[in-house]
Structure 1
């Protein structure tokens, strides 16, 4: 029925990945699994370390790292007998991100909000069973919260991952959890136990809250946004110290902030995907303004204001999206 490209799911994965058709070329998939092991340009790994991370036989890893090295995707370090990301991989990633002005705009919005609340704010995208920070902002006084752009974290351990799974069509989300259970059973069990509650929270409030999963001291809140460009959900997430924000305060203060911020970023993404990046600043709603003196107690300006924005334009009917 139609071309192979039409069998791609709306979440950006091959349909065979979710349905078990088995038509994925395994050697290509495994090569990318190896590249994913290198978190950061300076990461250095040997074949044994890669084998343990990927769950692949060391002989298979050895053949693939040899090939990837000849392609320039990896570089071999004789003195260490280890590999690091190669020049071709760096060049390819640089060329792919060139011209993405909207990322700079998003980073500015994130930092504007991060400067006013004691936490971190991330703009994330899914990568198999992980979420990756495309952009990241942090308040100077955000104690105990540490990540960077490019950081990867398991979906089951972050509000971003929980929000992403909750936004997927039910059958696709369940299939992803089932697939995850083979490699990351603990994370899959966490998601499975919370998926229905997360879906309900997304329907009722427009966001998903996850507490004590990334760290026992951190509570996160995430909002998924559909990106036509990437054909998947990206997620805006805010992390704060649990000791400072209980459930009531998360709902009354951080909830309105992330809804408005997500609405802003959603407009920017839609403009960029339509080729209107230059207009993103003027047409996007302003980032929320928060009076610091009001944050420790009582309502913030967003609650006292005239308009409480609804969920970002991300929960859409049809075309495989919630």
Structure 2
């Protein structure tokens, strides 16, 4: 992803929408939202970012960005690098992320089954959650023979261009999905018609088969299949994916073998946690 593409994906319309909502919602703290937008600017491969990078990626005024980065650095969420005059992610963010991951019981429950599936198909299996207009990887399992993909825990990808994201969208509550689609339409501009068609196709795939297939849409050399998991009591949605290089993982295998196996894995997880039993019923 080049610099212009990355900036387009990271400059999300929600920031403006949230600021407008904040004017009418006394509970919403706009300054806090902007500070979190600064932290979200860091993408895979971004070791350091400067204030100008934050301005370009958030659309916030330079003076506002300067105050926010200074404050975040004082609190330990950013670290200022004097030799470059730029910032890196601070230890405070790492500590929060580690606490969050350690508290995800579903992650520990899923990992052995993910590894078994990855080994069985010579693939990569991952678990992900939504971060606004993106999907973020929170667990990964690779087979000993799998060719490593350019992703790891913490990587973020656009929600509409991955099997993971389209599977997530397929089970979102209708009102939340409508709001998210409106944000995506504004953010993606001329790319929206193709993205909208892919999302609709994913919803139809999930309705018919219980999984969503993505062929070289996220990365040109990656094929994958994904299945969503709805947590009990409305506590969240996660997506599980299995896939790999397109020259090894073919469409027929995704639809006839890997997809059904991933669907059954998620069904077992749902039963184990007391979730929405029957969403992924076992099939022959």
Query: What root-mean-square deviation, in Å, do the aligned CA atoms of Structure 1 and Structure 2 show?
Result: 2.9
Q: Unpaired runs of 5+ in structure 1? A: 1-13, 272-308, 314-322
Match of 2:213 among 204, 209, 216: 209
TM-score, normalised to structure 2, is 0.80
How far does the alpha carbon of each residue in 1:39-83 deviate from its partner, in whole angstroms, 9 at most, with x for none?
A: 479832111122222232322211111111122211211122111
How far does the alpha carbon of each residue in 1:19-49 deviate from its partner, in whole angstroms, 9 at most, with x for none?
A: x855343322221111112347983211112
The structure, 1 or 2, with the larger RCO (C-alpha pairs under 8 Å, 6+ apart) is 1
Q: Please name the residue that 1:80 is paired with.
A: 84
Structure whose residues are more often helix by fraction: 2
Q: Please name the residue that 1:71 is paired with.
A: 75
Give the number of aligned pairs. Answer: 261
Q: Say if 2:41 and 2:58, in contact at 8 Å, map to a contact too.
A: yes
Match of 1:60 among 64, 70, 73: 64
Q: Unpaired runs of 5+ in structure 2? A: 1-13
Q: Quick check: 1:195 aligned with 2:199?
A: yes
Q: Say if 1:207 and 1:222, in contact at 8 Å, map to a contact too.
A: yes
Q: Say if 2:124 and 2:146, in contact at 8 Å, map to a contact too.
A: yes
Cα distance in structure 1, aligned partners of 2:250 and 2:104: 37
User: Secondary structure, in 3 states, of the residue corresponding to 2:166?
Assistant: helix
Match of 1:182 among 181, 186, 200: 186
Q: Say if 2:223 and 2:251, in contact at 8 Å, map to a contact too.
A: no
Q: Quick check: 1:166 aligned with 2:203?
A: no
Cα distance in structure 1, aligned partners of 2:199 and 2:105: 34
TM-score, normalised to structure 1, is 0.71
1:1-322 to 2 correspondences below 5 Å: 21-22=21-22, 23=25, 24-39=28-43, 43-143=47-147, 145-185=149-189, 188-228=192-232, 231-270=235-274, 311-312=279-280
Mark the structure with the bigger radius of gyration: 1
Cα distance in structure 2, aligned partners of 1:171 and 1:94: 31
- 93-102 or 153-162: which moved more? 93-102
